[in-house]
Every structure is written in structure tokens, then in C-alpha cells.
Amino acid sequence: MFSNKEMFTETFLQRLEMTCGKSFQESTKRDHYHTLGIMIREYVSSNWIKTNESYRAEKEKQVYYLSIEFLLGKLLRHNLLNLGIDDVVEEGLKELGIELSDLEEMEADAALGNGGLGRLAACFMDSLATLDLPGHGCGIRYKHGLFEQKIVDGYQVELPEQWLRHGHVWEVRKADLAVDVPFWGRVEAINNNGKLEFRHLEAETVMAVPYDLPVVGYQTDTVNTLRLWSAETTPYPINRDIMKYKRDTELISEFLYPDDTHDEGKILRLKQQYFLVSASIRSIVRSYRKQHASLIDFHKYVGLHINDTHPVLAIPELMRVLIDEEGMSWEDAWHITTNTISYTNHTTLAEALEKWPVRIFQPLLPRIFMIVNEINERFCQDLWTQYPGDWRKIEDMAIIAHDQVKMAHLAIVGSYSVNGVAAIHTEILKQREMNQFYQVFPEKFNNKTNGITHRRWLIKSNPKLTSLINEGIGTKWVNHPEHLKELQFFQQDSAFLEQLYEIKQDNKKSLAEKIKAKTGIVVDPLSIFDVQVKRLHAYKRQLLNVLHIMYLYNRLKEDSSFQMYPRTFLFGAKASPGYYYAKKIIKLINTIAEKINNDKTVSDKLKVVFLENYRVSLAEEIFPASDVSEQISTASKEASGTGNMKFMMNGALTLGTLDGANIEIKEHVGDDNIFIFGLTAEEVMNYYQYGGYTSVDYYHHDKRIRQVVDQLTNGYFGDLDNEFEPIHDSLLMENDQYFVLRDFSSYIEAQREVGKAYADQNRWLKMSLANIANSGFFSSDRTIQQYADDIWNISSVKGKVR
């Protein structure tokens, strides 16, 4: 049906009538979108079935990527591109007077994630299928993804996200494959001929129903599966209060990351985690059992990867299945489990490391708690043998201590591989945060620097740049992105550089139009587009960026001879609903934007725009239109960053600290093609360890700092009832935990260099080209190949399949 334009239009019209029950004349864009989606899914389904059949026939080892987040975004154009039918479809639709881009507008972003961690999982799905690797995703089908952000009077307002309102055309509900997941109740031990057996009684059972999404690889027949679980009531609940049971059950897959500041939210979060792993493992084991008589070789055929600690209950859950359901000994079960599970750490921030109070964990998951307890006791015994008498060490490293279950400790002890997501992050894990574990299990630790799929973040989102690259170096880079390096041949080619310039300008104009339409603000595409888009967090230091803008504004107002290249500062960020400080920063950005954008005396130099509701689909419009990539986290805090890679691949230059993957970006582009400033991770960690930083000194000794900090509270940007006092206090009273003032002067300096470099267009274009040319390393294809080779031990099934 997609082999040529005519066949496509004919089938499309037929299907439209069949699926929507309307004539073409009556039909809407939504009907067209829906019909096209169904056609594509149908087209994919025979390869989907074949892929699964061949995996079974070949008994290929399968890897399951367990993640509480999958930030997929839109799938229509992505699927068309991967299937290689985007041109046929686009042209066919045109014949019918339909614009493909209009249909894309109909699709809601699948926003089942908060930020980098969830988007990484989505990029990995794409790379696994494209590299013909037998790897699948397991997640939760949240009814409401990440909230929709509105800015009202400068403040963030959260609305429930409604991606399922019109259905999700890519999913297939598989009600016959539902599994039961038990909560609460009690465990009874029975002596069966001298062998202790455990039964979980009086549990409240939830039915997990899978919804499968096909994961289509690029130019390959491989179609993997992303299985998202939805919580439903079982047909025969034993419960007294049926309404409460229904509410409690459906709540499990209702929202992504409910607020967990209170116990009720905490229980729900833990329920979600067990729901995900238990449903996934039950269904994996069920299909495994159809192929294998026993589970004794399970680890040879199945890998379970846990994306951060959220799915770490996979460890005790697999133990439970092997012991309670398969009747294995603890030792056999432990051997299998610790050869099945691998774990990625995504942060060293203490407040983000998960711990669960025993008072919540034990009653909710009584059997799982017993198993975690046993794992802990055996681990502590081992430590005692290795470090006899060292109570302190055992207390520090225990999985359960002070009535808390430490999920990261469980993850390290119960898995065979622990990886960080950028070289420096892994070093910090090994040498600092997880050093005690590194000493016990050095062989487990390894690095896998993150990557992004160039198919979405370059080919799909920046078609003009893609064409230019193809004209220059052919298309080999599409399958082997390291070939982007060949673009360096054009360093001296002024015609090529000129085209690169034109493309960036076109992309900036499109974004400028969008900004005008959305906000009414007019921005000049000839100004530098200086962009910071990412979750809002103190450690990412959006505040440093804002203070610098205030500084520029002050200079412009006070010194008529002050020279600067015109700039447009763009922000996009969601603040977690309970994160008070982060919300203040959003209000601050909007407050200074209001004043600056309405001041005619600076309007040819400075604009500030906060883009509402930052999400995958908006990101795809921003990266191609950016000149400067703000990666200004406090060194040592950003595990990797992946936005930095998306900017680079689209020719934006990084202005950043020596943190996360910025360091590797610098190594790949060279020192001359990046702007680095600020403290090193080493210096930051030394300050934390030994003290020596007094933010107030910087305030007193640098009048640029004094001026902007004072302006937070003196009404300069409008009289706002001490609105920004908490920010002011974080800098001066709480000694500026993220070293904003410490790095301020160095940042101003680096920003000045950016302006100077941009003013020399030829120099800038060469730098930009060097960034694109060296971005191949940051393709998630490279990352996933490393996971496949070094951690999972799986290989391409190309040729082996069918």
C-alpha cells in the first residue's frame, strides 16, 4: 500500500471510509491522521510478528529495558522515516490536498517522562531496533503524562496532560496477556517435607494489562516491542470496599511521578515501581517457559536492564519467582539473578537517591521485603568477613539501615554491571559516591557515555541541514554517523559555509515566527539565539544565565558605549510541581523578560523569551534554530546531559562547564570550538569537603554581582512583595550551594568570547561545522552498541532473522 503514490492514495481513501465511517468530504484532519496511523501499524505488523517469531525460533538472548519513563514524543514522522515511506506518503497526501505537517499537529506527544532519563530510554529503543538488536522496553502507560505547562502572569500553572483523549493509534491492547500483581496481605511460611515454602495470602490484586507499541528500526525489517502496562481492577476482587479498590488500582497508572512528599504519594510511587517490574517479569517468564523447560539458564537468554533505581525491585522479584514459583535454592536463584540484572546510575545528587521507609515498604510488599532483608543479611555477612569488626562500613553500605531501604545499594549488590552515563560521572561514582562499593566490586563498574538518536534529532528535525550534509558527503553517515567527520573537508569551502549559514537563518526565522505567534514577542533572527532548555533545577543554574542577562541589561542602560552583539535569550523548562525554588526561577525569568522586552532603548540588543510547555516536539524546533547551547551546571552535578549533544549535532556551540558529557564534547571538537568556564568538578568537590567558599565575599568584592543580586529584592524589576527573596537568600544566606556567584565573572568572560566569535561570521561557521562533524560519537547507536557488546552480550540478528 506504500509502494507508490497512487496505491497509497487509493488505500488511504478506502481505509478512511472504513475506519472513520465518513466520506472524504466529511472527514477531518484528525480522521486523516488516525487513518494514516492505522495503515502504518498494519504495514508494520507482519514484520513485527516475524521479528518475534524469529527471536523465538533462534532462542536469541532478549534484553528488556525496564524504565519508569519513556519520553517518546510524536511517532508519525519518526515511523514514516524509519520505514522509508515518508516521501510516498507526503506526496500522496498532497494529491488529496492534505499536508502531512498538518496531520503531525494532530498527534499528541507521548510525554511519559520528565527529562533526560526518559528521553534516553526513547532514543535507546530507536537504536536497538535500528541495529537489529533483540531489545525491548517495559514501562507504564500513564493515563496522564508530564503535566502541560501554562505561564499565567509569569507563574507556572500545571494542567493535567491528556495524550490519550483521542486514543493512541500506535498501541495494541493485549488483554489476553494480562497478569496479576499482588499488594498488601501477609506471608505464610509452611513446612513442606522439611522445605520452607512461602505463600502470599489476602493480597489485593491488581490486573496489569499490556499495551504494545511497535518499535520500528531505520531501514530494517526488525520491529521490537515497547510494552506499557496499565493497571485495571481484577474481575473478582476479594475486597470489601469496591470503590476504594477501584480508585487505588486505577491510580497506579494514572500519573507520572505523583508528588511523593507525603506517605500517600510515596506508597503510590512504590506501587508503580513494583507494578512495572512484577508485571514485566511475570510476562517475560511466562513466554520464556514456553521455550525452556526450566529457568536454570534464564540469565543466558534474558537480560534485564534497570534504568536508574526505579525498577530495582526486579532483583527481589526475580528471586521470588525463582524460589517461590520455581522451587530453586537461594544460591541458584541468586546466581541467576545477579547474572541477569544490569543497572545504570543517572545521578549523584543525594536528594535524588531513592530510599524507602521500612514502615511503607514492608506492609505493601511483604514477601519482597523478606527477600530484600535476606539479601541484606547475606551481604552484611560477606562484608563482615571482608572487613571484620568494621561496623561503620557495614552500616554505611547496608541495603537496609536506620529503617530505610536504600535502592542504589540493592541495585549494586544485585546486578552484574553498574554504569555511569559519562566518563566523569563514572569516575565520580567510582572514586567518591560509590567508592566503598567500587572497592568490593571493582569489576562491576563501567562507563557508557550517553547518546542521542541522530534520526530524530538531525534527520527528522533538521531536514535542510540533512540535505546539505548529503550533498557534501553522501549518505554513508546516516547508518554510520562517525562519517560526519568528513564534513571537515568543507572547513575552507566558503560556498558550503554560506549554505550552512542560510540553513541556520531559515531555521531561526521559522522559530522566530512561532515565537511571534505564541507570545507576540518579535525576535530578530540575525541576533544570537542563546538557548537553555532542560528541566528546571538549582544545579543546572538557570539562575546564572538570568543574572548574566540582568548584568547585560545594566551595562546597556548605564554605558552608552557598551558594545554587544544582539542576543535573544531563550528558555524552556518545567519545574516539578512541588519544587518551590524552581518555580521562583520561572517567575524571575518572566519578570526580567517583561521589563527588558518592553524597554525600547535596548530592543535592538536584547530579548528574553520563556517558551511555554517545553517538550520533545518543541525541542525538535528549537535545536535546529540555536546558536549557543547553555550547559552551565555546577561542575560534578550533571551526570551527562543529552541536550548538549542535540545542540552540537545541529551546529550550535556549547557554552559550558567541565561537567558531564561537556567534557567529552570538548575532547571531540577541540578546545577552539567550545566555550568553557567556571570551577572544575575537583574544585567544587574540594569546596564541599574542606569549605573555603564564602559567597558574601563575592557579593562585596564584585560590584557587578552586588548590583544584580540587589536587584532581586529592591524592586528594580517591579515591586513584587519580596517575590525573589528566597533566591536572594539562597545566594547570600545559604552560601550559594551551586557556586553561581563564584562562577559569575568567569561566565561573563566566556559570554564575551561567544559574542566576539559570533561577530566573525566566518570563524563562527567553521566552529559550527566542526561541531556537526564531530557529533557522530554522540549517536545513541554507538552507546547502544557498547551496551550490547560490553554489558548485555547480544548481537545483531540481521541475516539471522527470517
Residue nearer to ligand 26V on the CB measure, 128 or 503: 128
534 is catalytic: yes
User: Is residue 641 close enough to count as binding ligand 26V by CB under 6 A?
Assistant: yes
- Judged by CB under 6 A, the stretch of 95-103, 116-124, 127-135, 477-485 that binds ligand 26V is 116-124
Report in angstroms how near the CB of residue 280 gets to ligand 26V at its nearest: 20
Helix, strand or coil for residue 654?
strand
Q: 347 or 654: whose CB is closer to ligand 26V? A: 347
C-alpha cell at 188: 505464610
Runs of H (alpha helix) within 114-194 = 116-130
Stretch that binds ligand 26V, among 208-216, 367-375, 585-593, 637-645 (CB under 6 A): 637-645
Q: Applying CB under 6 A, what is the total number of residues that bind ligand 26V?
A: 18
Out of 176, 331, 351, 559, the only residue in the binding site for ligand 26V (CB under 6 A) is 351
From 61, 144, 540, 668, the catalytic residue: 540
Cα 771 from Cα 458, distance rounded (Å):
13
Smallest distance from the beta carbon of 771 to ligand 26V, in angstroms? 18
- Using DSSP bridges, classify how beta strands 355-357 and 404-406 pair: parallel, antiparallel or unpaired: antiparallel
HEC profile of 543-557: HHHHHHHHHHHHHHH
Please state the closest distance from residue 421 (CB atom) to ligand 26V, in A. 4
Whichever of 568 and 642 has its CB closer to ligand 26V, that residue is 642
Which amino acid is present at 583? Answer: K
Binding mask 447-476 toward ligand 26V (x if CB under 6 A, else -) reads: ---x--------------------------
One residue of 132, 204, 530, 638 binding ligand 26V per CB under 6 A: 638
- Choose among 590, 587, 579: nearest CA to 538: 579
Contacts 24+ apart (CB under 8 A), 258-266: 259/577, 259/578, 261/578, 263/360, 266/356, 266/357, 266/360
Active-site residue 476, yes or no?
A: no
CB of 256 to ligand 26V, least distance (A): 12
When the beta carbons of 346 and 508 are compared against ligand 26V, the nearer one is 346
User: Site for ligand 26V (CB under 6 A): which residue of 57, 352, 526, 696?
Assistant: 352
**Binding span for ligand 26V by CB under 6 A among 74-82, 112-120, 275-283, 733-741:** 112-120
CB of 582 to ligand 26V, least distance (A): 9
Segment near ligand 26V (CB under 6 A); pick from 328-336, 632-640, 692-700, 768-776: 632-640
In single-letter form, the type of residue at position 161 comes to E
Q: Which stretch binds ligand 26V (CB under 6 A): 86-94, 267-275, 599-607, 640-648?
A: 640-648
The SS3 call for residue 790 is helix
Give the H/E segment covering residue 104.
Answer: helix 100-106
Q: Choose, from 534, 574, 584, 766, the residue flagged as catalytic.
A: 534
Q: How far is the CB of 114 from ligand 26V (least distance, A)?
A: 7
Residue 535 a catalytic site member = yes
Helical (H) or strand (E) element with 180: strand 179-183
Quote the Cα angle for 448-451-457, to 5°. 175
Using CB positions, name the residue nearest to ligand 26V.
116
CB 230 within 8 A of CB 253: yes
User: Coil, strand or helix: which one is 347?
Assistant: coil
CB of 177 to ligand 26V, least distance (A): 30
- For the question of residue 393 being annotated catalytic, the response is no
Answer for which of 349, 360, 440, 720 binds ligand 26V (CB under 6 A) is: 349
Which of 568, 642, 654, 783 is catalytic? The answer is 642
558 scored as a contact of ligand 26V (CB under 6 A): no
Q: Is 357 left (phi over 0), alpha (psi -120 to 50) or beta?
A: beta
- What does DSSP say about strands 341-344 and 417-420: parallel, antiparallel, or unpaired? parallel
**Per CB under 6 A, does 161 bind ligand 26V?**
no
The x, y and z cell numbers of residue 606, run together, are: 536584547
Which strands make up the sheet holding 404-406, listed edge to edge? 355-357, 404-406, 400-401
Among the residue ranges 40-48, 287-295, 345-353, 781-789, the one whose residues contact ligand 26V (CB under 6 A):
345-353
Q: How far is the CB of 659 from ligand 26V (least distance, A)?
A: 9
Which of 639, 655, 663, 791 touches ligand 26V (CB under 6 A)?
639
Binding to ligand 26V (CB under 6 A): which residues in 418-437? 421
Distance between CA atoms of 43 and 37, rounded to whole angstroms? 10
Nearer to ligand 26V, 251 or 349 (CB): 349
Residue 460 bears catalytic tag: no
- What's the rounded Cα separation, in Å, for the pair 574 and 585? 11
Of 344, 337, 339, 543, the C-alpha closest to 447 is 344
Interface pick for ligand 26V out of 37, 73, 92, 116 (rule CB under 6 A): 116
Q: Taking Cα atoms as reference points, which of 420, 411, 294, 292 lies closest to residue 346?
A: 420
Sign (positive or negative) of CA dihedral 755, 761, 766, 769 = positive
Q: Which of residues 283-312 bind ligand 26V (CB under 6 A)?
A: 308
Q: 483: closest CA among 475, 495, 491, 492?
A: 475
Candidate list 32, 310, 346, 742; residue touching ligand 26V; CB under 6 A: 346
Among the listed ranges 96-104, 342-350, 522-530, 560-568, the one in contact with ligand 26V (CB under 6 A) is 342-350
Cβ 468 vs Cβ 430: under 8 Å = no
Q: Please list, in sequence order, all residues whose beta carbon lies within 8 angstroms of the beta carbon of residue 651, skipping any fewer than 6 positions away.
A: 465, 500, 504, 768, 769, 771, 772
End-to-end CA distance of the chain: 22
324 exposed, middle or buried (CB, 10 Å; 0-12, 13-18, 19+)?
middle
595 and 717 Cβ atoms separated by less than 8 Å: yes
Strands (E), 20-154: 62-66, 70-73, 110-112, 135-140, 148-152
Contact with ligand 26V (CB under 6 A) among 115, 134, 182, 311: 115
Q: Does 660 bind ligand 26V (CB under 6 A)?
A: yes
Residue 642 falls in the annotated catalytic set: yes
State in angstroms the smallest separation of the CB of 275 from ligand 26V: 20
Q: Can you give the binding site for ligand 26V, defined by CB under 6 A?
A: 115-117, 120, 308, 346-347, 349, 351-352, 421, 450, 638-642, 660
Q: Which residues are catalytic?
A: 346, 534-535, 540, 642, 646
